[in-house]
Structure 1
Amino acid sequence: MAKEIDPTTSTAALFGTRLRRLRLKAGLTQAALGRLANTHSTRINQVERATGAKPTLTLARALDEALGADDLLVELWPYVYREAFPNWAQAFMEHSERAVIIREFATSVVPGLLQTEDYARAVLSVGRTLKSPEQLEERLASRINRQARLLRPDGPRLWVVLDESVLMRPVGGPVVMRAQLARLLEAADAPRTTLQVLPFSCGAHGAVEASLTLLTLPDGSECAYTENADTGQLIDEPEEVKSFTVTYDQVRALALPPNMSLDMIRSVMEGTYHAERIPTRSDRRRLAQVQLQQQGGRQLRRGRRQLPGPRPRT
């Protein structure tokens, strides 16, 4: 008989240990449980031994139902998927799940709490820390799962400032981006959510180099989290947090008011927004043709022979 792994080594090992005990108590082989959960016995063995990819939320639900575990595996699963993220992200997620106020400034993409599933998949697919398709699904399920907290009666107050570039970057393609913009408009209707846009015209500011999140915890303490494409940092030293709070307040003051911000988002979604931009090659070609036509017209008018006037009578 295979030796049971040590459940204290990781949350995935704890999940696998609980799964094995439940399976044996039910008198099922790995193959039998695999059939009930619509998966292969090899996958059951991987989960029980904490090898290979970690279980997805869908698999955790299927296993829980097959074993009649009364949501034990489903409730344990969130702690398993956190291990799919880098260490610097795990601490932030733990704090954000307890926060009563979340203030975010996003420089490049829509914050995870407001992303659609298709948009989130497109963003997560290009991460350099991503190791496998299975890990992508784990991270995607994690992100979507965290959004449910916004809908609960005790959910946090959310204030988000988006850099204008977030609206202009078509992540996932036009269809995905349009749905994402519609999601932002929908989210802004929630009474605890405020959305603003920081326009390009504001120029440089204190948070121009990285995204910034401020979390207020139930005891009134605060922490700050900064993140770029490759790494992030959680800061809880009061003086440093205070400095980041000042920076966020400055960004928020520079941003458009909420009603004007929603008008901009709506116009981008509808394709009627005309931001300042560098002309494309086709734009420049059309402009040159118009200028040539205008110049040609002026030259014809200047080169036209004047008809002789009537001769004076003698």
Structure 2
Amino acid sequence: MHTDERDLKAFGRELRRLRVEAELTQQALARRISQRGTTISDSHLSDVENGRAMARPWLRKFLDEVLESDGRLDKLWEELTGSGRQVWLHEVTKRTHDADALFEYQPLVFPVYLQTQEYSYALIRYGAPWLSQEQVLALAKERNDRAKRMAEATSPVIWLIIDQSVLWRRYGSPQVQKEQLAYVAHQIERERVTVQMLPIRAPRHAGTSGPRRIITTAEEPEVVYMESAEEGRIISGSADINRSRMVFTALQGAARDPQETLQAIYDEMKAIDNE
């Protein structure tokens, strides 16, 4: 199985951190593993730490045992190379805000990092009717606080593709939608985000598999966040990421250019005024 070089380097960095934390040299760690019945050289451990070699399942098991890391290395390997695992909200939020670049497609709503508080409130209030008003208010405020931090930051670079229907929806009320559109237009004007709109009648529509976010970070392996109504999943397999990039490129080719999209947003704001 081919393993991305970035995955190997990320695993190696964590192995080195755990080894240093345990106050062991590579030679000492190799010796302790060899005492468990499988001989390994310190040069091989060096290759693993530097991303030149892959740690086999038996080695990951012994490393976790010797370093007393509670299975950390085996879990990390699954995170780096496993594809389709369920992800916690705080994890994808951290990955998103720590990223160098985001490439996202949204067919139904503006992403959370571009939402006004009123827009977030409407989405949560009617999308999760079992929550109390206090809970909805708290969640909407939390989203808005994160959105403000994203707007004020210089990274990540954000390239967003939305379906045209996102402009037409009236979550909460026409006024809530108008204020949301105005907020997005402002972020486009100040070049904080690049937005393209996929026309509703686009004949080559590659977005039928749902929303996705490609998260690119210099110090971490690239991942894709796939979201459904009930859960989100992190896709980390190299082949799966390449497929998502192909989908995003196809969406870019079918979408309106950023200036046309900005004009469409202003046109929709005028349409709301005339309703």
TM-score by length of 2: 0.63
For the residues of structure 2 that align with 1:152 and 1:175, how far apart are their CA atoms? 25
1:236 maps to which residue? 236
Question: Contact 2:206 / 2:251 at 8 angstroms: preserved in 1?
Answer: yes
Gapped regions of structure 2 (runs ≥ 5): 1-85
CA offsets 1:80-131 (integer angstroms, 9 cap, x no match): xxxxxx9532321121121111111110011111111111100111234854
Gapped regions of structure 1 (runs ≥ 5): 1-85, 274-314
2:190 alignment partner, SS class: coil
CA offsets 1:54-103 (integer angstroms, 9 cap, x no match): xxxxxxxxxxxxxxxxxxxxxxxxxxxxxxxx953232112112111111
Higher gyration radius (CA): 1
Q: Once the 2 structures are TM-superposed, how far is the Cα of residue 193 of structure 1 from its aligned partner?
A: 1.4
1:250 maps to which residue? 250
1:233 alignment partner, SS class: strand
Letter in 1 for 2:229: A
For the residues of structure 1 that align with 2:130 and 2:222, how far apart are their CA atoms? 30
Matched, 1:141 2:141: yes
Q: Once the 2 structures are TM-superposed, how far is the Cα of residue 191 of structure 1 from its aligned partner?
A: 2.6
Aligned residues: 188
1:156 maps to which residue? 156
2:183 maps to which residue? 183
1:98 maps to which residue? 98
1:95 alignment partner, SS class: helix
RMSD: 2.3
Q: Once the 2 structures are TM-superposed, how far is the Cα of residue 220 of structure 1 from its aligned partner?
A: 5.8
For the residues of structure 2 that align with 1:246 and 1:272, how far apart are their CA atoms? 35
C-alpha change, 1:272 and 1:133, in structure 2 (3 Å) is: closer
1:265 maps to which residue? 265
2:189 alignment partner, SS class: coil
C-alpha change, 1:129 and 1:174, in structure 2 (3 Å) is: closer
For the residues of structure 1 that align with 2:112 and 2:142, how far apart are their CA atoms? 10
2:172 alignment partner, SS class: coil
Letter in 2 for 1:207: G
For the residues of structure 1 that align with 2:175 and 2:129, how far apart are their CA atoms? 27
1:215 alignment partner, SS class: strand
Question: Contact 2:151 / 2:192 at 8 angstroms: preserved in 1?
Answer: no
Question: Contact 1:113 / 1:147 at 8 angstroms: preserved in 2?
Answer: yes
C-alpha change, 1:272 and 1:147, in structure 2 (3 Å) is: closer
For the residues of structure 2 that align with 1:208 and 1:228, how far apart are their CA atoms? 13
Q: Matches of residues 110-121 of structure 1 in structure 2 within 5 Å? A: 110-121=110-121
CA offsets 1:262-284 (integer angstroms, 9 cap, x no match): 111111110199xxxxxxxxxxx
For the residues of structure 2 that align with 1:87 and 1:237, how far apart are their CA atoms? 15
**Identity across the alignment (%):** 26
For the residues of structure 2 that align with 1:90 and 1:203, how far apart are their CA atoms? 37
Per mean C-alpha deviation after superposition, the further-off stretch among 215-224 and 161-170 is: 215-224
2:18 maps to which residue? none
Q: Matches of residues 1-314 of structure 1 in structure 2 within 5 Å? A: 88-128=88-128, 131-203=131-203, 205-219=205-219, 221-271=221-271
2:214 alignment partner, SS class: strand
Identify the structure with bigger relative contact order (alpha carbons < 8 Å, sequence gap 6+).
Answer: 2
